[in-house]
Amino acid sequence: MKPVEQIKLPITKEMELFETKFKESMLSKVPLLNRITYYIVRRKGKQMRPMFVFLVAKMVSDGGFDERTYRGASIVELIHTATLVHDDVVDDSNQRRGFFSINALWKNKIAVLVGDYLLSKGLLLSIDNEDFDILKLISTAVREMSEGELLQIEKARKLDITEEVYFEIIRQKTATLIAACCAIGAASMNASKETIEEMRKFGECIGIAFQIKDDLFDYTEHKIGKPTGIDIKEQKMTLPLIYTLNTCSKEKKSWLINSVKKYNKDKKRVKEVIAFVKENGGLEYTVKKMHDYKNNAINILNKYPDSPYKGSLLKMIDYVVERKI
């Protein structure tokens, strides 16, 4: 059994019912929209975010469940899908999870409008049911995701990202949505403010570890679905590179910055940069940081009694740092 299937085991029934509810939450009177949303649903990913919502909800409430939890998961997935549709337009990407993206099939104008539609559906699902606490959590996440993307664009132009700024970018860009999922899971069961904040922090730690793992893929030779060195080609400043820049000689620092700025499309030079980062401890440092966040997440979970749901969340932490893609 695949790791994701194992994680899903305690919430199999909930995930099946969620799929039906999620499809219903997308329905429209416009046939074109229904065709596009049907296409989206059929090409769904691993659905990790709804899994976080359900597992946290059940862990903090001793296995209890509420209609609000389904709505929370649907809101997360609607808003997440909206951001992915918009991201593909922004990145001019023709593929998503190995399939054609919405903008590749229906052009940018329709893709932007579909993203807007999904966003409004998510907001209305909260408002119509007066889930204002859940609405606040997801809205904060969307704001932070936008800020993180813009901060990265601004810093990438100058290549002057410090480690502190790097962590702020990935916290906002990647971790904030997983943090919102975990907080929404707790909030949907009317948990205490302390528990909701604790679960938000737990999700943030996993999200940061997830992104650091992604950064490490840029330096591996294994086939992982994306070519090695792609972050360098795109002039993205990731942790292995930032650490190496901060610890090498002035002369080597100039060479590294010059390589990323002017020779980022030169395959031979990109390989040299990757080799230099490896030789200078960039990967070891990055792996250590990833494990620090992993351990922080485990420490938060250890405050809760053992249950199948806690067990699945522990497996989720392992999956995030051990995954091969």
Predicted pLDDT of residue 227: 57
Average pLDDT across the chain, whole number:
87
Residue 309, token pair as written in the block: 């749901």
- Which letter, b or e, does each residue of 100-113 get, where b requires 16 or more Cβ atoms within 10 Å of its Cβ? ebbbbebeeebbbe
* Least-confidence region, from 107-116, 165-174, 176-185: 107-116
What is the band of 226 on the pLDDT scale with cuts at 50, 70, 90?
low
Give how far the C-alpha of residue 188 lies from the chain's centroid of Cα atoms, to the nearest Å. 21
Predicted pLDDT of residue 71: 93
Residue 5, token pair as written in the block: 């299937």
Q: Cβ neighbours of residue 320 under 8 Å, at least 6 residues apart?
A: 206, 209, 210, 213, 294
The whole-number average pLDDT for the span 180-197 is 95
What's the rounded Cα separation, in Å, for the pair 212 and 165? 14
In this structure, how many other beta carbons lie within 10 angstroms of the beta carbon of residue 118? 26
Is residue 46 pLDDT above 90, yes or no? no
Is residue 28 pLDDT above 90, yes or no? no
Phi-psi domain of 229 (left: phi exceeds 0; alpha: psi -120 through 50; beta: other): left
Distances (CA, A) of 143 to 58, 149, 172, 206, 274: 28, 10, 9, 20, 34
Q: pTM value? A: 0.89
Is residue 2 pLDDT above 90, yes or no? no
Predicted pLDDT of residue 55: 96
What's the one-letter identity of residue 116?
A: D
Predicted pLDDT of residue 149: 87
What is the DSSP annotation of 210-233? HHHHHHHHTT--S--SS-TTHHHH
Is residue 222 pLDDT above 70, yes or no? no
Is residue 19 pLDDT above 90, yes or no? no
Predicted pLDDT of residue 224: 47
Q: Report H helices in 43-162.
A: 48-60, 67-90, 102-128, 132-158
Structure confidence by residue, pLDDT tens digits, 51-95: 999 999 999 988 778 899 999 999 999 998 888 888 888 877 777
The whole-number average pLDDT for the span 263-290 is 88
Is residue 228 pLDDT above 70, yes or no? no
| 285 or 262: which leads in pLDDT | 285
The whole-number average pLDDT for the span 224-245 is 77
